[in-house]
């Protein structure tokens, strides 16, 4: 399949036309309107500093269904110790910046560019992007962020400065999504880190079918809170 060149027009090619590696299109911008259209279409941006803006829609797709979510026993024991405190949506910029810094240390380069940080902070201000923060005393030591549309949460990135802190953030996120009867978390591409929580791969066409149904439900916009 060809890689499509985007223009200023707010339109994406169908996700099923992506190449085998998931690459679908190049160009465009990170405006809120384009980002929201991309996520509603099963597409997300992923590129490195200095590269052109690339848009992806991989198949198979890694997802977590709330009914299949499982918490490892060792993590359950740690959570009962209440070593960390957890919040939502009070330090979004700190979380996304920490995710970028973690990528820089581990991979000598991050796909979370300064442009991406500003774009997702704008979506956070609009009530679409959310963060979960894990604290040790007054220090932010772990967390995650992503996009919420309808009854689907699109997980973007997570970080840990202390053992299991991002995993605890994920459990608290899932508690909130189960409370609101969300259909799934989109984890994008397979990682062993998420497989232990019950994540599994589904074909791209099945993901698109679920996305169409889930994104039609009302958005849970605004600031989220831990109950």
> Do residues 54 and 28 make contact, with C-beta atoms less than 8 angstroms apart?
no
Instruction: Write down the pLDDT at residue 193.
Output: 85
Instruction: Write down the pLDDT at residue 105.
Output: 42
- Structurally, at CATH architecture level, domain 4-58 sits in 2-Layer Sandwich (3.30)
- Structurally, at CATH architecture level, domain 62-215 sits in 3-Layer(aba) Sandwich (3.40)
> Do residues 214 and 151 make contact, with C-beta atoms less than 8 angstroms apart?
yes
Q: What are residue 143's DSSP bridge partners?
A: 133, 159
Instruction: Write down the pLDDT at residue 111.
Output: 87
Instruction: Write down the pLDDT at residue 1.
Output: 61
> Do residues 63 and 185 make contact, with C-beta atoms less than 8 angstroms apart?
yes
- The model's pLDDT over 96-121, given as tens digits with 9 standing for 90+, comes to 999 999 754 445 456 899 999 999 99
Instruction: Write down the pLDDT at residue 104.
Output: 46
Residue found under tokens 């997570």: 158
Tokens of 47: 């590129």
Point out the residues of the chain with pLDDT beneath 70: 1, 103-110
Cβ burial 148-161 (10 Å sphere, 16+ → b, else e):
bbbbbbbbbbbbbb
Q: Three-state SS for 157?
A: strand
The residues spanned by each domain of the chain are: 4-58, 62-215
Domains 4-58 and 62-215 share a fold: no
Instruction: Write down the pLDDT at residue 109.
Output: 52
| DSSP H/E element including 195 | helix 192-195
């Amino acid at each position: 399949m060809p890689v499509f060149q985007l223009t200023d027009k707010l339109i994406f090619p169908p996700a099923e036309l992506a190449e085998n590696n998931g690459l679908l299109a190049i160009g465009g911008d990170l405006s809120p309107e384009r980002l929201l259209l991309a996520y509603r279409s099963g597409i997300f941006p992923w590129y490195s500093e200095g590269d052109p803006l690339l848009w992806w829609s991989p198949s198979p797709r890694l997802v977590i269904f709330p009914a299949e979510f499982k918490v490892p026993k060792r993590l359950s024991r740690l959570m009962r110790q209440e070593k960390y405190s957890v919040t939502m949506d009070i330090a979004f910029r700190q979380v996304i910046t920490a995710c970028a810094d973690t990528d820089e240390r581990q991979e000598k380069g991050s796909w979370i560019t300064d442009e991406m940080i500003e774009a997702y902070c704008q979506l956070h201000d609009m009530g679409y992007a959310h963060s979960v923060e894990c604290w040790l005393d007054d220090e932010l030591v772990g967390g995650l962020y992503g996009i919420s549309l309808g009854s689907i949460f699109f997980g973007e990135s997570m970080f840990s400065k202390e053992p299991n802190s991002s995993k605890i953030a994920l459990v608290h996120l899932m508690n909130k999504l189960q409370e609101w009867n969300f259909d799934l978390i989109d984890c994008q591409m397979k990682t062993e880190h998420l497989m232990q929580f019950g994540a599994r791969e589904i074909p791209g066409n099945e993901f698109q079918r679920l996305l169409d149904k889930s994104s039609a439900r009302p958005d849970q916009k605004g600031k989220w809170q831990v109950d």
